Amino acid sequence: MTAAPRNPPRWRDSLFGAHKIRAACRFVVAPDIAPQAIEDVADALRAEGFTLAEAPDGVVVLRRGSVIGDTILNGTGLTLITKRIGPLSVKAIVVVHAAPSGEDAEVTASMLAGDELAPVITGAVDAVIDRLIARGIPVDGPGWTRSVDLPRENIGHPKTAREHGLLR
């Protein structure tokens, strides 16, 4: 990184921190750190009940829940239960990947579905960033934004993900 890194804002410090929205976090690390950062995000989400799905090389797709579970929970008033004990089978899809950014790599973790699980997903990604910083690894980047505000060429953008068959 050419300039002193400015740590990306965490979810709670972003403009979107008080809302359950489909969000994306972009953070910049050295290219040799990017594969481990992707794996760390995947591990953190697997610990939250996500499973790996098929994806193109260099892209990690994690899923949780189902459309049926989401419809039943949200359509029948059972969301009151989930507010007390946490999300059950609410559907969520997250894409994690890295792309070159100058001499560095920009890691993107993007929620393609899963508004209700936003606190779980954002907490896991923020924890990974915090661990990288605690290990003395420089982390830079814009931090959190809405997924739809990602550059259109980013595979974490919902339309681009759909075109690549990642949003099912």
The pLDDT mean for the chain works out to: 83
Share of the chain above pLDDT 70, in %: 79
Give the Cα separation of 100 and 104 in Å (integer): 6
pLDDT score at 144: 92
State the distance between the two ends of the chain, measured CA to CA, in whole angstroms. 36
Place 15 in a pLDDT band, splitting at 50, 70 and 90: low
Both tokens of 46, joined, read 């697997």
Domain 11-163 has CATH 2.60.120: no
Mean pLDDT on 151-158:
96
Q: What are phi and psi of 141, to 5 degrees?
A: 120, 170
Q: Of 157, 122, 140, 164, which is closest to residue 30 (Cα–Cα)? A: 140
| DSSP classification of residue 1 | -
**Residue 110 pLDDT > 80, yes or no?**
yes
* Stronger pLDDT, 113 or 157, i.e. the higher one: 157
What global pTM score does this model have? 0.81
Q: Is the pLDDT of residue 24 over 80?
A: yes
**pLDDT at residue 76 above 70?**
no
Nearest-angstrom CA–CA distance, 156 and 110: 5
User: Residue 28 has what pLDDT?
Assistant: 96
Query: Residue range 91-116: average pLDDT?
Result: 92
| SS3 state at 73 | helix
Q: What are phi and psi of 114, to 5 degrees?
A: 120, 45
- What per-residue confidence (pLDDT) applies to 17? 59
Note the pLDDT of residue 85: 44
